[in-house]
Amino acid sequence: MSALLEISGVSVSFDGFRAINNLSFQIAEAELRAIIGPNGAGKTTFMDIVTGKTRPDEGRVVWGDRSMSLVGMSEAQIARVGIGRKFQKPTVFEDQTVADNLLLALRKPRGPLAVLLFRPTTADLDRVAELSTEIGLESALARKAGELSHGQKQWLEIGMLLAQEPRLLLVDEPAAGMTPEEREHTTSILVDAAKTRAVVVVEHDMEFVRRLNCRVTVLHEGAVLAEGSLDHVTRNADVIDVYLGR
Amino acid sequence: MQRSFITRNPSVLIFLALLALFTLGVTVLSEAFGIGLISTSYVKVLGKTLCLALVAVAMDLVWGYCGILSLGHFAFFGLGGYMIGMWLMYERTRDIVVGALAEAPIPPTEQEIVDGIGTQIFGVVGSNEFPLIWSFADSLTLQLALVVVVPGTLALIFGWLAFRSRVNDVYLSILTQAMTLALALYLFQNDSGLRGNNGLSGLQNLPGVEQPQSHVSMWFLWASALALGLGYLLSAWIVAGKFGSVIRGIRDNEARVRFLGYSVETYKLTVFTLTACIAGIAGALYYPQAGIINPAEVAPITSIYLAAWVAIGGRGRLYGAVLGAVFVSLVSSWFTGGKAPDIPLGIYTVQWVDWWLVLLGLSFVAVTLFAPKGLGGLVDLWVERRSPNRHGADLGPDLGSLREKEASQ
Ligand SMILES: Nc1ncnc2c1ncn2[C@@H]1O[C@H](COP(=O)(O)OP(=O)(O)OP(=O)(O)O)[C@@H](O)[C@H]1O
Ligand SMILES: [Mg+2]
């Protein structure tokens, strides 16, 4: 497997505080990966760096077959090369309908003129309907996203990510605030999605991570502490020390 | 496609119908073409109000939909006025100069005429030379083009600098205030080439037109109504589609739109520039009806009024902006026109000419705090209360009967 995303030697400081410290790791094509670690370990900051929100002080972030450097590209450009991101707290456009939210995310030209003249085709609407079934919102298409429950908003945001058809999906704490049933549904959506693309999930809930049944990376103080299967990392003495043991 | 756009947005049709009805009504009641119930000066007030409604629609597009609280759109409005004013003043003065020189024994040369115009126009600022910016003043076509090109270019440059550095929220508002202040200060100078604080005057006189002001005022009212109708239609079409979805997304959560792959800066720049052009057109129709334009018109406070109208009318819906502009500017002309009765309080008499602004400021605060939907929110109340099975019932005169059409659609 070739690496889809390769991060090497990346460091970031905020006012002298090293949030990411010489971080290196790789994500392969169509890989499902979980990232765990204590609060403030730098999980969200890692996503900020990959998606262009935060510029690394040093290090390389390299993407795709043609080894494109993502450092210095704008958020929108990075999104367009195929990296989708879900935020820690659900962010959907509350003032717009579920269908509009999905249409907005659909993989289509993003320039102002193309968007101005855009009219959804039947194929587009079918795709929206299909996505809404996948995320269990088929009956809510015409509702305002703001009326949805917390869990439904999380799903809508995942649905929007899928609509973007990214090659890499970064998902920050998707199960936060969800009921056990909702968590199960979320797991299956993510596992499904990872069949055709790479998915990186940040999560605190160990049960959730176990169900994802994938390779796990443990971050601590901005660097990789351990990597491997969940059983492997949970037996690691350092991990027990800084994360699990508390 | 057009039909489905209208059926999806019935408020557009209602608005255009009301606008047409209004225009027809004024025509029938005018001195020039009707029974003379509305004086020419009031026709001008109404025509100007339509222009203010148009610039309010632009403001709603940029603020209510895209979330950019620009406090500088009256600069674009004023620039549009200056651009058309230059041609009006030049040609009008030319007629006068040619008329005066015709009595001379030797026919004047072209240079003598131009010099004559220069002396006439720039005498008040102690000059008789045409500044460079007047190069095209003799061409109506070019000056009309400048009505959109000048505000558009200024908006493009300003917006590019501001949005590229991700200046947002209150900082952006302050920057736009600084822009319009700088423009006003520049125009106030005598050597700005636009006659300093004298401004451009006599704009109500159309060169080569024999008809009296009663006719001219009606032409401008029609043109203003047409411009408002088209501007409204264009704006409604823009916000109804996916573009509208994107800019509302930018208003509500800019970062999310970015991570979806849209270049937020490009969209903001597009909306900012487009609305500046609309404001320029509105200004170009306004000032010939006002007759005069001077630098005070682009003072920072005017753009703040514009934001207040849109807030009072209800931002995020186009008819709200129109309602706000029409309501506030008509009420304002009533209060400041000395028609409102003074309120004697014994030791102090409240004179509305002075106190109107305080009232406006208080209403602005009150609307922001207690009724964020503004006047447009009243329409919601009305639509919700309307029981759908009242088809065929008499809903009342004019306005009501129009809504009934919609109810039976
Ligand atoms: N923009 C910023 N400015 C200053 N400090 C920041 C910034 N972003 C993150 N940090 C700091 O960097 C550290 C890592 O934060 P990050 O949000 O990446 O942690 P996390 O692993 O996502 O934690 P959590 O599990 O709580 O979400 C924290 O100490 C945080 O306070
Ligand atoms: Mg986090």
CA–CA distance, B129 with B189 (Å, rounded to integer): 16
What's the pLDDT at B399?
Answer: 40
What's the pLDDT at B392?
Answer: 41
Per DSSP bridges, beta strands A215-220 and A32-36 are: parallel
Per DSSP bridges, beta strands A3-14 and A17-28 are: antiparallel
Sequence-ordered list of residues with C-beta below 8 angstroms from that of A8, at least 6 positions apart, any chain: A24, A59, A60, A62
Cβ neighbours of A53 in B, within 8 Å: 255
How far is B250 from chain A, CA to nearest CA, in Å? 9
CA–CA distance, B57 with B326 (Å, rounded to integer): 11
CA–CA distance, B377 with B64 (Å, rounded to integer): 14
Long-range contacts for B211-219 (Cβ within 8 Å, ≥24 apart)? Answer: B212/B32, B213/B40, B214/B30, B214/B31, B214/B32, B214/B40, B214/B43, B215/B32, B215/B33, B217/B32, B217/B40, B217/B43, B217/B44, B217/B47, B217/B289, B218/B26, B218/B27, B218/B30, B218/B32, B218/B33, B218/B43
What's the pLDDT at B401?
Answer: 39
Q: Do A116 and B238 touch (CB under 8 A)?
A: yes
Output the pTM of the full model.
0.91
Q: What is the pLDDT of residues B308-343, one digit of tens each?
A: 999 999 999 999 999 999 999 888 888 887 777 888
CA–CA distance, A209 with A70 (Å, rounded to integer): 28
Rg (CA), chain B: 23
Residue pair A8/A24 in contact by the 8 Å Cβ criterion: yes
What's the pLDDT at B394?
Answer: 41
Q: For chain A, which residues score pLDDT lower than 70?
A: 1, 246
CA–CA distance, B20 with B18 (Å, rounded to integer): 5
What's the pLDDT at A20?
Answer: 94
What's the pLDDT at B386?
Answer: 62
Residue whose tokens read 């264009």: B234
Q: Do B249 and A96 touch (CB under 8 A)?
A: yes
What's the pLDDT at A246?
Answer: 55
Burial class, A208, CB count within 10 angstroms (exposed 0-12 / middle 13-18 / buried 19+):
buried
CA–centroid distance, residue A172 to ligand 1 (Å)? 13
CA–CA distance, B190 with B124 (Å, rounded to integer): 9
Helix or strand holding residue A196 (H, E): none
CA–CA distance, A78 with A82 (Å, rounded to integer): 7
At A35, phi and psi to the nearest 5? -120, 125
Cβ neighbours of B234 in A, within 8 Å: none
DSSP B38: B
What's the pLDDT at A177?
Answer: 82
Sequence-ordered list of residues with C-beta below 8 angstroms from that of A184, at least 6 positions apart, any chain: A211
Residue whose tokens read 């400081």: A13
CA–centroid distance, residue A223 to ligand 1 (Å)? 13
Q: For helices B318-336 and B300-313, give the axis angle rounded to 10 degrees.
A: 120
Sequence-ordered list of residues with C-beta below 8 angstroms from that of B3, at least 6 positions apart, any chain: none
Q: HSE of B282 in the Cβ direction (CA atoms, 13 Å)?
A: 31
CA–centroid distance, residue A41 to ligand 2 (Å)? 8
What's the pLDDT at A242?
Answer: 84
Per DSSP bridges, beta strands A58-63 and A32-36 are: unpaired
Domains of chain A, earliest start first: 3-244 (3.40.50.300)
Contact of B36 with chain A, judged by CB distance below 8 Å, is answered with: no
How far is A122 from chain B, CA to nearest CA, in Å? 15
What's the pLDDT at B357?
Answer: 84
CA–CA distance, A165 with A83 (Å, rounded to integer): 9
Cross-strand partners of A3: A28
CA–CA distance, B88 with B137 (Å, rounded to integer): 8
Q: Do B1 and A87 touch (CB under 8 A)?
A: no
Tell me the ligand closest to A49's alpha carbon.
1
Q: For chain B, which residues score pLDDT lower than 70?
A: 1-3, 386-409
